[in-house]
Structure 1
């Protein structure tokens, strides 16, 4: 077995291991428990090591270095499928939490929040807040 990648945190190594497992490449994680027990030693011991058989090293490094971000479609091209502001009809919306600042201030002053805050969307055109779209 040879080291194919090093990670600062065990969860990163597990994500990479899952990618290799899905491609049929056997791998193992070394020093995971040492870093979990004392995470400050991660850099000193070389991090969490992902190891594969020497015969699979080239294929494994190719899989780990492949950028799959182009596979994701982050844009919604169909305007009918997009949410729109009920006030002005704009589709320029952003996630927004209403009442977060007063709750934070009360939390700082007395130790726990008394105000309930609401999650929703804020229209970037008219400024209107909507809980559900």
Structure 2
């Protein structure tokens, strides 16, 4: 088998994401090459056009690398730190979503004045009763 042939096993929008994947693979003993990271660092708008920052491994490690990168450890975080359940302060419903209040007026001001005025507020909005509350 030819070790000189590199295969792209994942691609990311930002170099730091690719380097986190690289570290996971190297910890498992897989040789890794990160391609196009400098291009994206210099011109981040090119990231989607060139296919992102690519994580490449030798062909014989491709399946093993894909399996390692596909592992999800989010349940371990929930076990260790607990899952914070956010509820609506008005009705107590857990059916809430992140919401930014004031985006539309800020956009209109930007169109009219040519520069943004940031008077947005971040918080949560209840899907049941529509109540907005800041977090």
Q: Using the alignment, how far apart are the partners of 1:83 and 1:8 within structure 2?
A: 30
Measured on the aligned residues, the alpha-carbon RMSD in Å equals: 3.5
Distance 1:120 1:29, change over 3 A: closer
Residue 22 of structure 2 corresponds to residue 17 of structure 1 = yes
CA drift of 1:4 comes to 2.7
Larger radius of gyration: 1
CA deviations 1:18-67 (Å, max 9, x no partner) are: 23112122333456546766859947xxx857244xxxx53x31333222
TM-score of the aligned structures, taking structure 2 as reference length: 0.64
Instruction: Report what 1:72 is aligned to.
Output: 74
TM-score of the aligned structures, taking structure 1 as reference length: 0.65
Distance 1:51 1:35, change over 3 A: farther
* Equivalent position SS for 1:116: coil
Distance 1:21 1:49, change over 3 A: closer
Aligned length: 118
Instruction: Report what 1:107 is aligned to.
Output: 110
Distance 1:98 1:48, change over 3 A: closer
Q: Using the alignment, how far apart are the partners of 1:83 and 1:123 within structure 2?
A: 10
Question: Which of the numbers 32, 36, 46 marks the counterpart of 1:27?
Answer: 32
- In the alignment, structure 1 segments of 5+ residues that lack a partner are none
